[in-house]
Amino acid sequence: MLPLLAAAGWAAAGVLLAVGAYGAASYVAAGAGLLTLAALPARAFVLVTVRGASMEPAFHDGDRVLVRRWSAPRPGVAVVLTQGTLGGAPVRIIKRVAAVPGDPVPRAAVPALADVPEDTVPPGHLVLLGDNPAASVDSRQAGYFRTDAVLGVARRPPRRHR
């Protein structure tokens, strides 16, 4: 089993974290705002447990959702994506797609994109927002997210895990 990682800063941002090696079914999650994966990464579907409040009211801490890998993101759907690593483990987040390549840049809703020169979201990028702005670090602060970082689309309605 891998050591527990300190991730308080990421947790506050509604970041999700999966720790594991080569698709092992046992994963360790550190702190609130983190994600655990319970499936082999090569599978078409991945079961995830949401940690944190960034997607409330749609997804609550402890909800379990099925993520379909390789699905094309579209506005309105929730996606899970990888945003770097923390202690060598991938950091994964769940956010809702606000705009895809070719859509108008939502400048009014996304302050970080207010001054971008393009009128439409460029190829290879997405605008992602958490459902709970007070608890989410998303495109409002970070701007665009890369489409190649998307693990998949949340396909099953959330189910509370207690």
Handedness of CA 7, 82, 132, 37 (dihedral sign): negative
CB atoms within 10 A of CB 147: 17
Q: What is the DSSP letter of 154?
A: E
Look at residue 8 and give its three-state secondary structure: helix
Band of pLDDT at residue 159, cut at 50, 70 and 90: low
Single out the residue of 109, 91, 116, 105 nearest to residue 10, CA to CA. 91
pLDDT higher at 25 or 33: 33
pLDDT higher at 137 or 14: 137
Q: Give the mean pLDDT of 139-153.
A: 94
pTM of the model: 0.71
pLDDT value, residue 91: 78
Q: What is the pLDDT of residues 55-71, one digit of tens each?
A: 999 888 888 888 898 77
Share of the chain above pLDDT 70, in %: 70
